[in-house]
C-alpha cells in the first residue's frame, strides 16, 4: 500500500511551497522553501497544538479540583468577619506560614490524613517550642505534648531556644535578679 504524501501547492511568485490547514497556524497558510521544510513546520505545529490541548485539558481538570489554597482563601474570607481582628490575623499567619507550604497546591479531594498530620506537625512543634521559650516549665510542656518524660520534651523542643544564645542572656539575668529587694548574697 502506498503511503499518501501531503499535497502542497507551489507558489511561483513567492518561490515557496504552501499548505492551507484550517486547524493549524490559526487557519493561515504555512510556507516552506522546500517540501521537507514545510513538512517539518507542519509537524512542529501539530506537536504544539497537541501540547496546547494537553495543557488546556490539565488546566480544566485542575479547575474541577479546587486546591487547599483556594479553599483556605475562601474560608478566611467567610470567617474573618466573625472573629476578632487579632484572631483573624493569627489564623492567616498560621495558614500562610505553616499549612499552605505543605498543602496549598494539593487538590482538596487528594489530601489524606497523613498530609494533614505532616502539615500540623510543624505547627505543633513550633507551639511547644514557643511554650518553652516563654518560660513554661518542662513538665507542663511534657504533659501537653503527651511525652513520658520531660527529657524527651526538652530534647525535641528546647533546642530551638538554645540554638539562639542571644535570647538566653536576658532569661539568665532575670533568673538571678533579686526579688522583692532581697538578695541571695551574704
Give the helix ranges, DSSP H, for 13-112.
35-64, 68-79, 85-94, 100-103
CA distance 154 to 138: 7
User: Counting every residue, how long is the chain?
Assistant: 186
Q: Closest by alpha carbon to 75, among 102, 104, 101?
A: 104
First vs last Cα of the chain: how many Å apart? Answer: 112
The pLDDT assigned to 73 comes to 92
Give the helix ranges, DSSP H, for 104-186.
113-133, 138-145, 150-157, 159-162, 165-175
Q: Look at 179 and 28; give whichever has higher pLDDT.
A: 28
Which residues, listed in sequence order, are joined to residue 17 by a DSSP beta bridge? 10, 32
Measured over the CA atoms of residue 90, residue 92, residue 98 and residue 103, the dihedral's sign is: positive
Other CB atoms within 10 A of residue 99 CB: 18
- Does pTM surpass 0.95? no
165 pLDDT above the threshold of 80: no
Looking at residues 38-59, what average pLDDT do you find? 89
Q: Give the tens place of pLDDT for each residue, 109-142.
A: 888 888 877 777 666 776 777 777 777 888 888 8
Amino acid at each position: 500500500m502506498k503511503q499518501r504524501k501531503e499535497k502542497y501547492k507551489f507558489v511561483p511568485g513567492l518561490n515557496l511551497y504552501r499548505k492551507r490547514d484550517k486547524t493549524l497556524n490559526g487557519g493561515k497558510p504555512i510556507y516552506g522553501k522546500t517540501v521537507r521544510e514545510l513538512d517539518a513546520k507542519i509537524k512542529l505545529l501539530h506537536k504544539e497544538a497537541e501540547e496546547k490541548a494537553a495543557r488546556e485539558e490539565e488546566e480544566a481538570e485542575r479547575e474541577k479540583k479546587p486546591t487547599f489554597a483556594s479553599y483556605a482563601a475562601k474560608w478566611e474570607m467567610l470567617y474573618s468577619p466573625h472573629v476578632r481582628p487579632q484572631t483573624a490575623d493569627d489564623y492567616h499567619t498560621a495558614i500562610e506560614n505553616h499549612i499552605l507550604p505543605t498543602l496549598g497546591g494539593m487538590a482538596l479531594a487528594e489530601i489524606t490524613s497523613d498530609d494533614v498530620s505532616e502539615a500540623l506537625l510543624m505547627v505543633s512543634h513550633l507551639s511547644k517550642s514557643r511554650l518553652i521559650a516563654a518560660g513554661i516549665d518542662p513538665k507542663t510542656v511534657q504533659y501537653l505534648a503527651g511525652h513520658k518524660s520531660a527529657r524527651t520534651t526538652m530534647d525535641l523542643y528546647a533546642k530551638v531556644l538554645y540554638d539562639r544564645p542571644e535570647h538566653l542572656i536576658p532569661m539568665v539575668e532575670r533568673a538571678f535578679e533579686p526579688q522583692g529587694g532581697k538578695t541571695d548574697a551574704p
